[in-house]
Amino acid sequence: MVVDNKATITYVQLLKEDLVIIRLVPKDGPVPEYQAGQFITLGLPNPTEGGKIVRRAYSIASHPENRKYIELVIRWVRKPLPGRLTTQLFNAKEGDEILWLKPTGRALLINETLPNGEPDKRRIICIGGGTGLAPFVSFAQHLHAVGDKREIIVLHGASYVDELSYKELLTELEDESKRRGKDEWNFKYRAAISRPQEWFNRSWAGQVGRVETFLRPREAGISPLEELIGDKITKENTMFYVCGWQGTIDGVMDFLKPKGFITEHDKGPDGNFQVKYESYG
């Protein structure tokens, strides 16, 4: 039988009508141990289903070194019908109780070693579509907290500028990288807005199109991502992590497959792979 733990919702930041950042603090013990890239399962009894507990997975945006709370970024699913858990979550208030199951998930764990046992020193490129950014907010804060020296790039794709949920935090991490120098902390953050023609997005001056367009080569055969890092991306020098719609994963692989990149799911007998992903179908 599943035994749910209890937590208090301690912080609710509504970014827009259907996008929220929430923080949870366990009621009966410390913040659980977890690894960057994992998800937690939340649950609430649903009154329209006779109090049956509806449970759903949410990627953790906070990092394991933060022992104060678990942070999540959640979309209210409204179409074609209001989502069973998110509709309740969007009615929840600071101080309310919520149920949780311990963090888990292996799809997006940060690769630390190569199949030959040597440390994985490849640059890390994280591509998050929408709320699929969450695991990479955890990655960035974790790699920062442990003083990781690898080059790290976080790319976020959103339809609207007010959905760039962690712009401030990630911009600050990049500013710190500029101040301290890349030998100390080597971090960059960029976003792509996929509906640039809409009036609400008129202030956007960055990349336009879906987030995978960062990988599309321009005239000189160099992609905006390669321009940003000032290097050619190869399967020897770069490891990709992708989270979002299956279309985002497929779009990324359309660019990477011809360069010989393979996902962890498709790895061969030598154990090598250059892409990890979690898709939300």
Ligand X SMILES: Cc1cc2nc3c(=O)[nH]c(=O)nc-3n(C[C@H](O)[C@H](O)[C@H](O)COP(=O)(O)OP(=O)(O)OC[C@H]3O[C@@H](n4cnc5c(N)ncnc54)[C@H](O)[C@@H]3O)c2cc1C
Q: Which stretch binds ligand NAP (CB under 6 A): 26-34, 182-190, 245-253, 262-270?
A: 245-253
Q: Which stretch binds ligand NAP (CB under 6 A): 111-119, 152-160, 219-227, 259-267?
A: 152-160
According to the binding rule CB under 6 A, does residue 213 interact with ligand NAP? Answer: no
Tokens of 132: 């699929």
165 vs 274, which CB is nearer to ligand X? 165
Among 36, 130, 164, 256, binds ligand NAP (CB under 6 A): 130
Can you name the residues that pair with 177 across neighbouring β-strands? Answer: none
Among 71, 151, 212, 278, binds ligand X (CB under 6 A): 278
Q: Could you give the CA distance from residue 44 to residue 97 in angstroms, rounded to a whole number?
A: 9
Q: What is the DSSP string of 191-243?
A: EEES-TTSGGGTT--SEES-GGGGGS--TTS--HHHHHHTS---TTTEEEEEE
Do strands 39-46 and 97-104 pair parallel, antiparallel, or not at all (unpaired)?
antiparallel
According to the binding rule CB under 6 A, does residue 43 interact with ligand NAP? Answer: no
Q: Is 31 helix (H, G, I), strand (E, B) or coil?
A: coil
According to the binding rule CB under 6 A, does residue 247 interact with ligand NAP? Answer: yes
Among 5, 8, 35, 159, binds ligand NAP (CB under 6 A): 159
According to the binding rule CB under 6 A, does residue 56 interact with ligand X? Answer: yes
Number of neighbouring beta carbons within 10 Å of residue 4: 16
**Partner touching 243 among ligand NAP, ligand X, none, CB below 5 to 8 Å by kind:** ligand NAP
- The nearest distance, CB 191 to ligand X, in angstroms, is 17
Q: What is the DSSP string of 97-154?
A: EEEEEEEE--TTPPP-B-TTS-B--SEEEEEEEGGGGHHHHHHHHHHHHTT--SEEEE
Question: Residue with the closest Cβ to ligand NAP?
Answer: 247
Query: Which residue type is seen at 108?
Result: L
What are the residues binding ligand X (CB under 6 A)? Answer: 39, 54, 56-59, 72-75, 77, 79-81, 83-86, 105, 131, 134, 278, 280
